[in-house]
Amino acid sequence: MKDQPVLDVRGLWKVFGPKPERAVGSTLSRQELKERTGCVAAVRDVSFAVRPGEVFVVMGLSGSGKSTLVRCLTRLIEPTAGEILFDGADIRKADERHLRELRRHRLAMVFQHFGLLPHRCVLDNVAYGLEIRGSGRAERYKRAREVLELVGLTGFENSYPDQLSGGMQQRVGLARALAVDPDLLLFDEPFSALDPLIRREMQNEVIRLHREVGKTMVFITHDLSEALKLGDRILIMRDGALVQMGTPDEVVGAPADDYVRDFVSDVPRSHVLTLRWVMRDALPEEPLDGPELDPDLVIRDAVRVVLSADRPVRVVRDGELLGVVTSAEILEMIAR
C-alpha cells in the first residue's frame, strides 16, 4: 500500500496542430510528422510513476517537451491521449469543478518566471491560493506567515514582488505553492532564471524543505547537475519521448544510448556513482578483514577509506558480502 504511486502517468501524448488525435501512436520522427500532418508532438507516449515522498526529476534540453509534460499533469495544457492517475483516479476524467478542487487542495506548481501578482504584497501573494478557495482572512494570513517563515522570508510580508531579488521572488512562489499544503509539488524549471550562486542556494533550500515537509515533488530542469543533485530518480526526455528513467547513478553509470552518454560525459563520475558500480568479486586469495562500507556510498566519499586501507575494502549490505573495492578500482574510475 505504501508503495502505491502518488502519480502514475501512462502513455501520455500531447500533440499540437490540426486534428491532433491522428498523430497519437505515430512512430514517425518529429520532422516527418510535421511534414506529413502539420502536427507537432510535444510529448509522445511518456509513462512514469512517482512514489510517495520522492523527488522525481524530468530533464531535457529546451524543446524536449518537459514543460509541456508538467503542464499536462494539471491540465494547464490539455493532453491529447493517455492516463494521469493521481491517487488512483484519472485527472483527465475530472470535470472542471473537480479539477479546480484538485488544483486548490492537492497540487501546486512553482513557475520559472514566478508568476507573482505584482499588485499584491508578499503576504497577499502567498495567501492567494487560500483566498480563492475561500479561507477566511485571519486563517489564511496565519498560514501564509507560517509558510513565509519556512522559506525564510519573515519580515518581507509587506514588500511588493518587484522590490525583491529574483531568488526572493522565487521563495515567494515556493511559499505560495506550499501554503495550500498540496500532496504533490510541481516545479517548472524554477531556478533557471536565477544566477548560479542563488540557484545553488535555492537547490539546497528545496532539499531542506523536502527533508522538513516531506512532500512528493516533480521537478523539471534542463540542468543535469541540478537533476543529479535533487533527484531520487531522473527521467530524460528528447524530442518529446522518454529516453531513460532511473536513479542518478544509473543514468551516469549505464546511459541508455549515445544521446544520454554524451549528455553525462562531463559529469565527474566519482561524485555520482556508488561503490556498487566499481566493486568486484573478491579473488580467492584476498584477505577479507578490511573495513566495511555500504554499497550505496558515493565513491567520492569512499576514496579516503579505500586508499588508506592496506587491504581490500569490503562492500557489505545487511551482513552479506557483495564485493570488494581496492585502490586500483578507485583510481581507474577517477582516471577514466
Partner 1 sequence: MTTLSLTARVPARRYLLGAILAAWVLGHALLAGRDTLALGGAELTPLHEGANQAWDTVDDNRNSNPFFLYFFNYVRLILDESVRFVQALISQPSFGRPVPVLGWLGVVALAAAVTYIFGNIRVALLTVAGFVSFGLLGLWAESMDTLALTLTAVAYSLAVGIPLGIWAGLSGRFNRFVTPVLDFMQTMPTFVYLAPLTLFFLIGPASATIATMIYAIPPAIRITAHAIREVSPVTLEASASLGATAAQSLRQVRLPLARRTIVVGVNQTIMAALSMATIAALIDAPGLGKTVLKALQTLDIGAAFNAGLAIVIMAVVLDRATTAASRRVETRRRTGREISAFFRRVEVGGALGIAAVLGYLSYTYVWAAEFPAGADLGSYVRRAADAASLWVQDSLSGFTDALKNVITYGLLNPFESLLAGSPWWLVFAVGVSIAALVGGLRAAITAAVGLAALIGLGLWQDSMVTLASTLVATILVLALGVATGVWIGRSDRADAVLRPVLDAGQTMPAFVYLVPILGLFGPTRFTAIIAAVVFAAPVAIKLVAEGIRGVPPATVEAARSAGSSSWQLIGKVRLPMARASVALAANQGLIYVLSMVVVGGLVGAGALGYDVVAGFSQHQLRGKGLAAGLAIVVLGIVLDRVTRAAQVRTVRLGVIKED
Q: Which residues of the shown chain bind partner 1 in the complex (CB under 8 A)?
A: 74, 76, 100-105, 107-109, 111, 113-121, 128-129, 131-133, 158, 160, 173, 176, 180
State how far the Cα of 252 lies from the Cα of 228, in Å rounded to an integer. 9
Residue with Cβ nearer partner 1 (176 or 276): 176
Give 73 or 306: the residue with its C-beta nearer to partner 1: 73
Q: Identify each DSSP E strand in the chain by its residue range.
A: 7-16, 40-50, 55-59, 81-86, 89-90, 107-110, 184-188, 216-221, 233-238, 241-246, 292-293, 313-317, 320-325
Neighbours of 100 (CB within 10 A): 13
- Smallest distance, Å, CB 49 to partner 1? 22
- The nearest distance, CB 184 to partner 1, in angstroms, is 12
- In the bound state with partner 1, the residue whose beta carbon lies nearer, of 100 and 142, is 100
Task: Name which of 156 and 160 has its Cβ closer to partner 1.
Answer: 160
Nearest distance from residue 148's CB to partner 1, in Å?
16
**Angle, alpha carbons 123-129-135 (nearest 5°):** 90
In the complex, the smallest distance separating the C-beta of residue 176 from partner 1, rounded to whole angstroms, is 7
**176/164 Cα distance (integer angstroms):** 15
Look at residues 179, 182, 184 and name the one whose alpha carbon lies nearest to residue 5. 184
Q: Which DSSP state fits 283?
A: P
Task: State the nearest-atom distance from the C-beta of 129 to partner 1, in Å.
Answer: 4
Cβ-based neighbours of 222, under 8 Å, separated by 6 or more: 59, 60, 61, 62, 66, 189, 192
User: Which residues are CB-neighbours of 21 under 8 A, at least 6 positions away?
Assistant: 15, 80, 81
Annotate 286-313 with DSSP letters as a single string. Answer: S---S-EE-TTSBHHHHHHHHHH-SSPE
Q: Of 129 and 240, which CB lies nearer to partner 1 in the complex structure? A: 129
Strand partners for 321: 316
Cell numbers for 139: 486563517
Which cell goes with 175?
511559499
Which CB sits closer to partner 1, 18 or 268? 18
Report the distance separating Cα 326 and Cα 80, nearest Å. 53
In the complex, minimum distance from the CB of residue 137 to partner 1, in angstroms, rounded to a whole number = 13
Q: To the nearest whole angstrom, how small is the minimum distance from the Cβ of residue 115 to partner 1?
A: 3
Q: Which is nearer to partner 1, 101 or 139 (CB)?
A: 101
As measured in angstroms, the least distance from the Cβ of 132 to partner 1 is 5
Q: Report the residue number, 34 or 120, with the smaller CB distance to partner 1.
A: 120
